[in-house]
């Protein structure tokens, strides 16, 4: 049994060893899994009672950075960031404008026409952040986002997420790396 709350502007790390349930918590929040009991609330939304057709709307309010990034290698960086907008019915012109804005905010405005394989690992991580930020969600969930990065790239990624937090969002990072959990003024949820 686990109970915790996260407020707007919080930077939270879920830490613990492999197999402790960190990624399961992550999947419960985005309703990729359903619990057998309990409740999950995001603002006024009861995630468990949300009709299936509203799950997409929930996920627009929860930006996700997957451990394996899930970038499409047959699409440009710009197209990767535009994709969630286009799936939601945003025009190509508006999608492109928003994607350019978000890529610029993470320092990658110059990569719009490049393909992911032309970028460094740290740059690909920032593309994933840009895609997660494209709807300006209330919550950002990141699953092991610094796992394959050197310290400088990890610090840059955490700074980009911190900038979103400073604009009123909250950040939840699932990690087994307790050294990054000391970053900034974050809260720690330790799982065992």
User: Using 50, 70 and 90 to split pLDDT, how confident is the model at 183?
Assistant: low
pLDDT tens by residue, 49-78: 989 888 888 888 899 898 888 999 999 999
Task: Identify which of 5, 16, 2, 3 has the alpha carbon closest to the alpha carbon of residue 144.
Answer: 16
Span 165-173, average pLDDT: 88
pTM: 0.85
Task: Identify which of 166, 159, 108, 98 has the alpha carbon closest to the alpha carbon of residue 133.
Answer: 98
**Between these two residues, 192 and 129, which has the higher pLDDT value?**
129
Give the CA count within 13 Å in the CB-facing half-sphere of 166.
Answer: 8
The SS3 of residue 163 is helix
User: Using 50, 70 and 90 to split pLDDT, how confident is the model at 155?
Assistant: confident
Mean pLDDT rounded to a whole number for the chain: 88
- What are the DSSP calls for 67-96, one per residue? TT----TTS-HHHHHHHHHHHTT--HHHHH
């Amino acid at each position: 049994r686990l109970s915790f709350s996260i407020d707007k502007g919080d930077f939270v790390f879920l830490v613990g060893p492999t197999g402790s349930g960190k990624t399961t918590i992550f999947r419960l929040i985005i309703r990729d899994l359903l619990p057998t009991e309990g409740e999950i609330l995001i603002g006024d939304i009861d995630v468990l009672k949300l009709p299936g057709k509203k799950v997409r709307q929930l996920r627009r309010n929860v930006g996700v950075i997957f451990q394996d990034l899930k970038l499409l290698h047959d699409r440009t960086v710009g197209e990767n960031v535009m994709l969630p907008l286009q799936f939601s019915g945003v025009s190509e012109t508006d999608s492109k404008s928003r994607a350019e804005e978000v890529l610029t905010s993470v320092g990658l405005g110059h990569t719009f026409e490049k393909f992911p394989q032309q970028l460094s690992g740290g740059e690909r991580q920032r593309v994933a952040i840009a895609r997660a930020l494209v709807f300006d969600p209330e919550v950002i969930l990141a699953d092991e986002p610094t796992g394959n990065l050197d310290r400088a790239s990890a610090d840059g990624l955490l700074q980009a997420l911190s900038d979103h937090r400073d604009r009123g969002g909250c950040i939840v990072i699932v990690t087994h790396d307790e050294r990054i959990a000391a970053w900034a003024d974050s809260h720690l949820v330790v799982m065992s």
